[in-house]
Each structure stands twice: as structure tokens, then as C-alpha cells.
Structure 1
């Protein structure tokens, strides 16, 4: 699959560059002559999108909807996410926790919780 095809499918589905995320949408809008239009037409020919041409609600642009085959292709052709070290993963968890604690305090709390769970 061409990189521009994968980029359009991932964007249309709301996925990141590694195919991760929830598919919270399934469409792409562009006008003839637009920089992505030709690639979208190619995706239609491959069976990965369906084209609705000249849609008035989009100012006459073309509305492209991702098919089930397109969803599958986006996931299958996305590269694997990069390996994340244990320390970077732990720091990401700290940021996601959005606590008012410092990182050191958060680590001590997690260690205390781990020990209590082991009892």
C-alpha cells in the first residue's frame, strides 16, 4: 500500500500513524484538484473507500467513506508501534494519572500499592 493511501485511511478513521486508537469516524472530504483527491480515487478503485461526488453540504466536494476492507487494510498495513522502555512507559502512566503528586511521590505510592497487593 502506498504511504499516502495509508495516511488517508488512518486519518479518515481517527487512527495514529501506527494504526492505534478508536475508529471514531470513517470519512474524508476533498475537492477535485485537491492534493489528496487522486489518492482517494485510487482507494475507491482498490475497494477501500466509496465515493459520493459533488456533495452540496461540503461545498461541492467529494465525500469518501471507508469500507470494511479499508478499515482492515489500515490496521494490517500500519507499522508496529515503537518499543517503549519500561521507564518511559512508567512515566507515561504517571502523566496519564494526572495526579497532583510529584513523579517521585507517585512512584512511592505505586510501590506501596504493589506491596499491599502482594500480601
Structure 2
């Protein structure tokens, strides 16, 4: 039997569904903050979701009134692994970009200029 969870080459349309479900953005680089995708039968998104379920990358749940009666899909561990295979490594940051990223996570009450002057 062929392993259905092998990522192989996911079509771009199918790749966008789990990225959207997880909230990781088009590049796949953002931090995941959710895991759901709701869609009803008859649409292209539903067909893609069903293909991902068949390949073992998503799980289908019956919908309810909150999502308009459509189906609810969640990305499983195999789906996350498949996304990982299709996500390029983040770009290398310059020293200035690294310092700016450090400033963004800094909570010292300084402006960016004050913070960066401390690096001189």
C-alpha cells in the first residue's frame, strides 16, 4: 500500500488551504495561531480540503450553524510536516535587520532610535 501522507508535490491551491487553516501566511513563515478551515460542499476549497483529507493531511468534521452548516477541517501532524517540506528557510537577515528584530521584542520603553544608539 502506498503511504498517502507523503507530501510529494502539493499543488499550490492545496498548499494554501493548510497555510490558511494554520494562519502561517503565504510564505509559511508566520507563527501558527489557529487550526481550522470551514467550507461547504460544492466549492473549490471544499474539493481541495477533501483531497487533503484523502491524502491524510487534514481531518474533516461535520459543520454546524456557527460556520454556516459547512464542514470544518483541521490540519493534523502529517499536514504540518507536509507544510514544513514546502516552506523555504527564512531569509538570512543583515545585522541591521537582526537588531531591528531584537528591538521589536524589547520591552524597555525606548524608541527605536534610542535602542539602536545603544548598539554603537
Does the alignment pair 1:4 with 2:43? no
Task: Point out where structure 1 has 5 or more consecutive residues left out of the alignment.
Answer: 112-119
RMSD (Å) for aligned C-alpha atoms: 2.4
Does the alignment pair 1:60 with 2:69? yes
What SS is found at the alignment partner of 2:118? helix
Which is richer in helix?
1
Query: Hey, what's the Cα distance between the residues in 2 that align with 1:41 and 1:74?
Result: 17
Q: CA deviation at 1:19?
A: 3.2
Select the residue among 82, 105, 108 that pairs with 2:114. Answer: 105
TM alignment of 1:1-119, pairs within 5 A: 1-97=10-106, 99-110=108-119
1:37-80 CA-to-partner distances (Å, cap 9, x unmatched) read: 12111111111112224534422101112222112111222122
Tell me how many residue pairs correspond in the alignment: 111
What SS is found at the alignment partner of 1:51? strand
TM-score by length of 2: 0.72
Rg: which structure is higher? Answer: 1
Query: Hey, what's the Cα distance between the residues in 2 that align with 1:37 and 1:29?
Result: 8
Which is richer in strand?
1
Query: Hey, what's the Cα distance between the residues in 1 that align with 2:116 and 2:97?
Result: 13
Query: Hey, what's the Cα distance between the residues in 1 that align with 2:76 and 2:112?
Result: 44
